[in-house]
Amino acid sequence: MTTYIARRLLLAVLVVWGVSVLTFVLAYMVPADPARVYAGSNATAQTVAHIRQQLGLNRPLPIQYVDYVNRALHGNFGISYKLQTPVLTAIMSRFPYSAVLALAGIFVELLIGIPIGILAAVKRGSWLDHSAMGMAMLGVSAPQFWLGLILLYSFGYVWPIFPLGLAQGPTSIVLPAVTIGLGGGVWYARILRSSMLDTLSQDYVRTARAKGIRKVAVVARHALPNAISPVVTMVGLDMAYFLGGIVVVESVFGWPGIGQLAYQAIQNDDIPLIMGTVLFASVIIVLVNIVTDVLYAFLNPRIVYD
């Protein structure tokens, strides 16, 4: 297990390095002149040239890259051209918003997915199963931003239960979280249903029933713990992607998370901020995936990692 984790971490370093190279090359393909972006539109040619010199933008690309990595390893990701604040500070000020939204979204996903998944499996072939799976199919087919807009229109405007627009008080998280949760939740239900169906047909479940244990207890204590691991994997994947910012949902609700920050950075040709947000999201994806796999091994001791 220790060697497995060590190897995964080594691989993670390699992956993050690859992402950094790709992002760096990509960022410098942006047609805008970063020195001009930094100087602002009123700057003279002289000022722009001076800033280019100051930022070291006139040096060869590989040297700029080595310099960037060197500074990044010391926690310095540069200064955002647009915001004029350190990139890391900007990311850290937005991260709590993305984190809260990610957790709330996954909470709604589980709230929808687990009960529906279990019921659909236990009542296999019933109207409940059919309608749940039909809803699941519709849910995964609806574009997330559209679902968000419909929810916003319905529960923010027609029936004004939740606040419209920006983060206003604790209830403003409900609609974005439900937007994430609806599409993901029905997917969880689908996965859990099929995993439960496999588990419910196992001998030990029949044995438990034969011993006279009530059906509810068999499902809750014998079947569910063995059927839940695919859902754990999905939660891990979602967590990994959500923590780095959910661009579309943040955009619909004006949620000030990392997704919005990154999106605006791209719009503004703010290269240090583009680099920073993409790298941050990638590191989170890599790390959360490792944690998920380790957790998975604990939940499912039959898995042998070599």
Partner 1 sequence: MNTEIERTDALPYGAELEEAPVEARTQWSLVWYRFRRNKSALVGAVVVAVLIFVAIFAPWLAPHDPTKIFDNGLTLEGTPVGPGKAFLLGTDALGHDQLSRIIYGARISMTIAVVANGFAMLIGVVIGGLGGYFSGVLGMVMMRITDIMMAFPILLLAIALVAVFQPSLWIVIGVIAFVYWTPVARIIHGEVLGLKRRDFVDAARAMGLGDIRIMLRHILPHVLPVIIVYGTLGIATNVLFEAALSYLGVGVQPPTPSWGGMISDGQLYYRAAPWLVVFPGLAIMLTVLGFNLLGDGLREALDPTQRNRA
Q: Does 143 bind partner 1 (CB under 8 A)?
A: yes
Binding test (CB under 8 A) with partner 1, winner from 137, 161, 217, 220: 137
Q: Is 292 in the site for partner 1 (CB under 8 A)?
A: no
Distance of alpha carbon 36 from alpha carbon 142, whole angstroms: 41
The one segment of 35-43, 73-81, 193-201, 218-226 that binds partner 1 by CB under 8 A: 193-201
Residues 53-71, buried b or exposed e (16+ Cβ, 10 A)? eebebeeeeeebeeebeee
Helix axes 258-267, 271-299, angle to 10 degrees: 150
**Residue 122, CB-side half-sphere exposure with 13 Å CA sphere:** 15
| 13 is an interface residue for partner 1 by CB under 8 A | no
Task: Provide the phi-psi class of 269: left if phi over 0, else alpha when psi is between -120 and 50, else beta.
Answer: left
Q: How far is the CB of 285 from partner 1 (least distance, A)?
A: 5
Angstrom distance (rounded) from CA 129 to CA 235 = 23
Shorter beta-carbon distance to partner 1: residue 172 or 289: 289
Considering only residues 157, 159, 302, 304, which one is a binding residue for partner 1 as defined by CB under 8 A? 157
Does residue number 144 form part of the binding site for partner 1 (CB under 8 A)? yes
Site string for partner 1, 239-258 (x = CB under 8 A): --x--xx-xx--x-------
- Cα 244 to Cα 75, 101, 240, 262: the distances in Å are 18, 11, 7, 10
Residues in contact with partner 1 by the rule CB under 8 A = 11, 14-16, 18-19, 22, 26-27, 29-31, 137-138, 140-146, 149-150, 152-153, 157, 187, 190-191, 193-195, 197-198, 230, 241, 244-245, 247-248, 251, 259, 262-263, 266-267, 269, 274, 277-278, 281-282, 285-286
